[in-house]
Amino acid sequence: MAVQTCYQHTTKAKTRRIHSVAQSQQLTDYNGLTALITGASSGIGRLMALQLAKNGARVALVARRKDELEALAEEIRAQSGEAVVLPCDISDRQQAEQAASQAIKKLGSVDLLVNNAGYGGQQKFLDWDLDDVEHIMRVNYFGTVYFAKALLPQMLQRDRGWIVFMSSVSGKIASPKKTAYAATKFAMTGFAESLSLELDGTGINVLTVYPGTIDTPFHNSQMRNNMPEKVRDSMKSADGVVEATFDALAKGKREVTYPGGIAMGYVVKALAPEFLRSQVLKTTKKES
Protein backbone atom coordinates (compact mmCIF):
# COMPACT_ATOMS: atom_id res chain seq x y z
CA MET A 1 0.00 0.00 0.00
CA ALA A 2 2.82 2.39 0.91
CA VAL A 3 4.58 1.53 -2.32
CA GLN A 4 1.38 2.17 -4.31
CA THR A 5 0.86 5.53 -2.55
CA CYS A 6 4.45 6.53 -3.22
CA TYR A 7 4.05 5.55 -6.88
CA GLN A 8 0.84 7.61 -7.15
CA HIS A 9 2.55 10.67 -5.65
CA THR A 10 5.53 10.25 -7.98
CA THR A 11 3.27 9.83 -11.01
CA LYS A 12 1.27 12.93 -10.06
CA ALA A 13 4.48 14.95 -9.58
CA LYS A 14 5.76 13.84 -12.99
CA THR A 15 2.40 14.68 -14.57
CA ARG A 16 2.45 18.16 -12.98
CA ARG A 17 6.01 18.70 -14.23
CA ILE A 18 5.15 17.56 -17.77
CA HIS A 19 2.07 19.82 -17.75
CA SER A 20 4.17 22.70 -16.40
CA VAL A 21 6.82 22.19 -19.09
CA ALA A 22 4.16 22.07 -21.80
CA GLN A 23 2.63 25.29 -20.54
CA SER A 24 6.02 27.00 -20.24
CA GLN A 25 6.65 26.40 -23.94
CA GLN A 26 3.62 28.49 -24.88
CA LEU A 27 4.78 32.08 -24.72
CA THR A 28 1.89 34.51 -24.37
CA ASP A 29 2.94 36.85 -21.55
CA TYR A 30 5.95 39.04 -22.32
CA ASN A 31 5.64 41.34 -19.33
CA GLY A 32 9.07 41.44 -17.67
CA LEU A 33 10.48 38.85 -20.07
CA THR A 34 14.09 39.38 -21.16
CA ALA A 35 15.00 38.92 -24.81
CA LEU A 36 18.09 39.20 -26.98
CA ILE A 37 17.64 39.84 -30.70
CA THR A 38 20.52 39.56 -33.16
CA GLY A 39 20.33 41.55 -36.38
CA ALA A 40 18.12 44.05 -34.54
CA SER A 41 19.18 47.12 -36.50
CA SER A 42 16.84 46.58 -39.47
CA GLY A 43 14.23 44.40 -41.12
CA ILE A 44 12.65 41.50 -39.26
CA GLY A 45 14.97 41.88 -36.26
CA ARG A 46 14.04 45.52 -35.76
CA LEU A 47 10.31 44.77 -35.95
CA MET A 48 10.72 41.84 -33.54
CA ALA A 49 12.50 44.09 -31.04
CA LEU A 50 9.84 46.81 -31.27
CA GLN A 51 7.00 44.32 -30.81
CA LEU A 52 8.73 42.55 -27.93
CA ALA A 53 9.26 45.87 -26.14
CA LYS A 54 5.67 46.90 -26.84
CA ASN A 55 4.52 43.64 -25.27
CA GLY A 56 6.49 44.42 -22.11
CA ALA A 57 9.77 42.61 -22.69
CA ARG A 58 13.16 44.07 -21.77
CA VAL A 59 15.34 43.74 -24.83
CA ALA A 60 19.03 43.47 -25.69
CA LEU A 61 19.73 44.71 -29.20
CA VAL A 62 22.61 43.10 -31.10
CA ALA A 63 24.00 44.14 -34.50
CA ARG A 64 27.12 45.70 -36.00
CA ARG A 65 25.65 49.15 -36.65
CA LYS A 66 25.74 50.96 -33.30
CA ASP A 67 24.07 54.16 -34.54
CA GLU A 68 21.04 52.27 -35.80
CA LEU A 69 20.82 50.27 -32.58
CA GLU A 70 20.94 53.48 -30.54
CA ALA A 71 18.15 54.98 -32.65
CA LEU A 72 16.04 51.86 -32.12
CA ALA A 73 16.75 51.87 -28.39
CA GLU A 74 15.66 55.51 -28.15
CA GLU A 75 12.44 54.66 -29.97
CA ILE A 76 11.77 51.86 -27.49
CA ARG A 77 12.60 54.04 -24.46
CA ALA A 78 10.34 56.80 -25.78
CA GLN A 79 7.50 54.29 -25.40
CA SER A 80 8.56 53.49 -21.81
CA GLY A 81 10.38 50.33 -22.81
CA GLU A 82 13.81 49.08 -21.72
CA ALA A 83 16.55 48.42 -24.25
CA VAL A 84 20.24 47.59 -24.00
CA VAL A 85 22.52 48.27 -26.97
CA LEU A 86 25.21 45.66 -27.65
CA PRO A 87 27.18 46.33 -30.86
CA CYS A 88 28.65 43.06 -32.07
CA ASP A 89 29.94 41.25 -35.13
CA ILE A 90 28.28 37.90 -34.51
CA SER A 91 30.70 36.10 -36.83
CA ASP A 92 33.39 36.77 -34.21
CA ARG A 93 33.05 34.16 -31.47
CA GLN A 94 34.69 36.29 -28.78
CA GLN A 95 32.45 39.28 -29.55
CA ALA A 96 29.36 37.06 -29.52
CA GLU A 97 30.28 35.55 -26.16
CA GLN A 98 30.97 38.99 -24.69
CA ALA A 99 27.64 40.35 -25.98
CA ALA A 100 25.76 37.40 -24.47
CA SER A 101 27.57 37.88 -21.17
CA GLN A 102 26.76 41.60 -21.13
CA ALA A 103 23.11 40.87 -21.84
CA ILE A 104 22.89 38.56 -18.84
CA LYS A 105 24.74 41.08 -16.67
CA LYS A 106 22.50 44.01 -17.67
CA LEU A 107 19.17 42.20 -17.87
CA GLY A 108 19.75 39.61 -15.17
CA SER A 109 18.92 36.75 -17.55
CA VAL A 110 17.86 36.08 -21.12
CA ASP A 111 14.57 34.20 -21.45
CA LEU A 112 14.19 34.51 -25.22
CA LEU A 113 16.93 34.38 -27.85
CA VAL A 114 15.99 35.47 -31.36
CA ASN A 115 18.74 34.35 -33.73
CA ASN A 116 17.86 36.63 -36.61
CA ALA A 117 21.11 38.16 -37.91
CA GLY A 118 22.23 37.14 -41.35
CA TYR A 119 22.74 38.17 -44.94
CA GLY A 120 22.26 36.61 -48.34
CA GLY A 121 23.42 36.56 -51.89
CA GLN A 122 22.26 35.45 -55.29
CA GLN A 123 24.80 34.49 -57.90
CA LYS A 124 26.26 31.46 -59.63
CA PHE A 125 28.54 29.35 -57.47
CA LEU A 126 31.60 29.89 -59.68
CA ASP A 127 31.10 33.65 -59.38
CA TRP A 128 30.85 33.49 -55.58
CA ASP A 129 34.07 34.60 -53.88
CA LEU A 130 35.24 31.89 -51.49
CA ASP A 131 36.04 34.42 -48.78
CA ASP A 132 32.38 35.41 -48.80
CA VAL A 133 31.27 31.76 -48.87
CA GLU A 134 33.20 31.27 -45.62
CA HIS A 135 32.02 34.57 -44.12
CA ILE A 136 28.33 33.97 -44.79
CA MET A 137 28.60 30.64 -42.98
CA ARG A 138 30.22 32.33 -39.99
CA VAL A 139 27.49 34.98 -39.83
CA ASN A 140 24.37 32.99 -40.68
CA TYR A 141 25.23 29.70 -39.02
CA PHE A 142 28.08 29.99 -36.53
CA GLY A 143 26.71 33.27 -35.16
CA THR A 144 23.55 31.44 -34.08
CA VAL A 145 25.61 28.62 -32.59
CA TYR A 146 27.71 31.06 -30.55
CA PHE A 147 24.68 32.75 -28.97
CA ALA A 148 22.82 29.50 -28.36
CA LYS A 149 25.89 28.02 -26.67
CA ALA A 150 26.36 31.12 -24.50
CA LEU A 151 22.74 31.58 -23.41
CA LEU A 152 21.33 28.06 -23.17
CA PRO A 153 22.98 27.10 -19.84
CA GLN A 154 21.23 29.86 -17.88
CA MET A 155 17.90 28.88 -19.48
CA LEU A 156 18.40 25.28 -18.39
CA GLN A 157 19.17 26.42 -14.85
CA ARG A 158 15.68 27.95 -14.70
CA ASP A 159 13.90 25.21 -16.73
CA ARG A 160 12.57 28.01 -18.90
CA GLY A 161 13.46 29.59 -22.20
CA TRP A 162 12.78 30.05 -25.89
CA ILE A 163 15.21 30.02 -28.80
CA VAL A 164 14.03 31.28 -32.18
CA PHE A 165 16.04 30.52 -35.31
CA MET A 166 15.13 32.79 -38.22
CA SER A 167 15.95 30.42 -41.05
CA SER A 168 14.51 30.55 -44.58
CA VAL A 169 12.52 28.45 -47.00
CA SER A 170 15.97 28.10 -48.61
CA GLY A 171 16.81 25.95 -45.58
CA LYS A 172 14.19 23.44 -46.71
CA ILE A 173 14.08 23.83 -50.49
CA ALA A 174 17.15 24.99 -52.41
CA SER A 175 17.04 27.10 -55.54
CA PRO A 176 19.63 28.16 -58.16
CA LYS A 177 22.20 30.87 -57.42
CA LYS A 178 21.90 30.45 -53.65
CA THR A 179 24.55 27.81 -52.99
CA ALA A 180 26.38 29.60 -50.19
CA TYR A 181 23.23 31.06 -48.63
CA ALA A 182 21.19 27.84 -48.81
CA ALA A 183 24.06 25.93 -47.21
CA THR A 184 23.93 28.22 -44.16
CA LYS A 185 20.18 27.80 -43.80
CA PHE A 186 20.24 24.03 -44.25
CA ALA A 187 22.91 23.97 -41.53
CA MET A 188 20.72 26.09 -39.27
CA THR A 189 17.70 23.87 -39.92
CA GLY A 190 19.60 20.73 -38.98
CA PHE A 191 21.12 22.35 -35.90
CA ALA A 192 17.77 23.68 -34.68
CA GLU A 193 15.94 20.40 -35.26
CA SER A 194 18.58 18.39 -33.42
CA LEU A 195 18.70 20.91 -30.56
CA SER A 196 14.91 20.85 -30.26
CA LEU A 197 14.95 17.08 -29.84
CA GLU A 198 17.81 17.29 -27.36
CA LEU A 199 15.91 19.82 -25.24
CA ASP A 200 12.59 17.98 -25.24
CA GLY A 201 11.06 17.99 -21.76
CA THR A 202 13.45 20.61 -20.37
CA GLY A 203 11.12 23.61 -20.56
CA ILE A 204 13.16 25.13 -23.39
CA ASN A 205 11.28 25.53 -26.66
CA VAL A 206 13.10 25.79 -30.00
CA LEU A 207 11.18 27.47 -32.81
CA THR A 208 12.49 27.60 -36.37
CA VAL A 209 10.93 30.18 -38.68
CA TYR A 210 11.04 29.72 -42.45
CA PRO A 211 10.24 32.97 -44.25
CA GLY A 212 9.80 33.06 -48.00
CA THR A 213 11.04 36.04 -50.00
CA ILE A 214 10.53 39.04 -47.71
CA ASP A 215 10.76 42.71 -48.65
CA THR A 216 13.49 43.97 -46.30
CA PRO A 217 16.97 45.55 -46.67
CA PHE A 218 18.23 41.95 -46.52
CA HIS A 219 17.59 41.82 -50.28
CA ASN A 220 20.12 44.25 -51.70
CA SER A 221 20.08 45.59 -55.26
CA GLN A 222 22.34 42.79 -56.54
CA MET A 223 19.95 40.13 -55.19
CA ARG A 224 16.86 41.93 -56.47
CA ASN A 225 18.35 42.33 -59.94
CA ASN A 226 19.08 38.60 -60.09
CA MET A 227 15.58 37.63 -59.00
CA PRO A 228 13.00 36.43 -61.50
CA GLU A 229 10.30 39.07 -61.88
CA LYS A 230 7.62 36.72 -60.53
CA VAL A 231 9.59 36.15 -57.34
CA ARG A 232 10.37 39.86 -56.91
CA ASP A 233 6.71 40.80 -57.39
CA SER A 234 5.56 38.22 -54.84
CA MET A 235 7.75 39.49 -51.97
CA LYS A 236 5.89 39.67 -48.66
CA SER A 237 6.00 42.20 -45.84
CA ALA A 238 8.22 41.59 -42.81
CA ASP A 239 5.24 42.34 -40.58
CA GLY A 240 3.73 39.01 -41.62
CA VAL A 241 6.85 37.11 -40.52
CA VAL A 242 6.80 38.83 -37.13
CA GLU A 243 3.11 38.09 -36.65
CA ALA A 244 3.61 34.44 -37.62
CA THR A 245 6.53 34.16 -35.19
CA PHE A 246 4.58 35.52 -32.23
CA ASP A 247 1.62 33.29 -33.10
CA ALA A 248 3.91 30.23 -33.23
CA LEU A 249 5.45 31.12 -29.85
CA ALA A 250 1.99 31.47 -28.33
CA LYS A 251 1.05 28.01 -29.56
CA GLY A 252 4.33 26.38 -28.54
CA LYS A 253 5.11 25.38 -32.13
CA ARG A 254 8.49 24.09 -33.19
CA GLU A 255 8.42 25.48 -36.72
CA VAL A 256 6.43 27.87 -38.86
CA THR A 257 6.61 28.87 -42.51
CA TYR A 258 5.48 32.23 -43.86
CA PRO A 259 3.54 32.47 -46.09
CA GLY A 260 2.01 29.22 -44.85
CA GLY A 261 1.13 27.89 -48.29
CA ILE A 262 4.81 27.40 -49.11
CA ALA A 263 4.94 24.55 -46.58
CA MET A 264 3.06 22.35 -49.06
CA GLY A 265 6.32 22.33 -51.00
CA TYR A 266 7.94 20.30 -48.22
CA VAL A 267 5.34 17.56 -48.69
CA VAL A 268 5.79 17.64 -52.46
CA LYS A 269 9.57 17.40 -52.02
CA ALA A 270 9.16 14.28 -49.88
CA LEU A 271 6.62 12.56 -52.14
CA ALA A 272 7.56 13.81 -55.61
CA PRO A 273 11.07 15.31 -55.57
CA GLU A 274 11.50 15.38 -59.35
CA PHE A 275 8.24 17.26 -59.80
CA LEU A 276 9.29 19.83 -57.19
CA ARG A 277 12.67 20.19 -58.91
CA SER A 278 10.96 21.01 -62.20
CA GLN A 279 8.73 23.56 -60.50
CA VAL A 280 11.68 25.25 -58.76
CA LEU A 281 13.55 25.52 -62.05
CA LYS A 282 10.46 26.91 -63.76
CA THR A 283 9.77 29.46 -61.02
CA THR A 284 13.35 30.68 -60.63
CA LYS A 285 14.18 30.95 -64.32
CA LYS A 286 15.33 34.49 -65.03
CA GLU A 287 12.78 36.22 -67.22
CA SER A 288 14.07 38.24 -70.14
Reported as a single tens digit per residue, the pLDDT across 69-120 is: 999 999 999 999 999 999 999 999 999 999 999 999 999 999 999 999 999 9
Task: Give CA–CA dist 95/106, Å, rounded.
Answer: 16
Reported as a single tens digit per residue, the pLDDT across 136-149 is: 999 999 999 999 99
| SS3 state at 211 | strand
Find, among 245, 242, 269, 267, the residue nearest to 256 by Cα: 245
Reported as a single tens digit per residue, the pLDDT across 164-184 is: 999 999 999 999 999 999 999
pLDDT of residue 81: 97
Burial of 30 (0-12, 13-18, 19+ CB in 10 A): buried
30-259+271-284, CATH topology level: Rossmann fold (3.40.50)
Task: Give CA–CA dist 282/98, Å, rounded.
Answer: 46
Catalytic residues: 181
First CA to last CA across the chain, in angstroms? 81
Please state the pTM of the whole predicted model: 0.86
Describe the crossing of helices 179-198 and 130-137 by its angle, rounded to 10 degrees.
20
pLDDT of residue 228: 54
**Radius of gyration over every alpha carbon of the chain, rounded to an integer in angstroms:** 20
Reported as a single tens digit per residue, the pLDDT across 227-282 is: 555 555 455 578 999 999 999 999 999 999 999 989 999 999 999 999 999 999 98
Helix (H) or strand (E) holding 256: strand 255-258
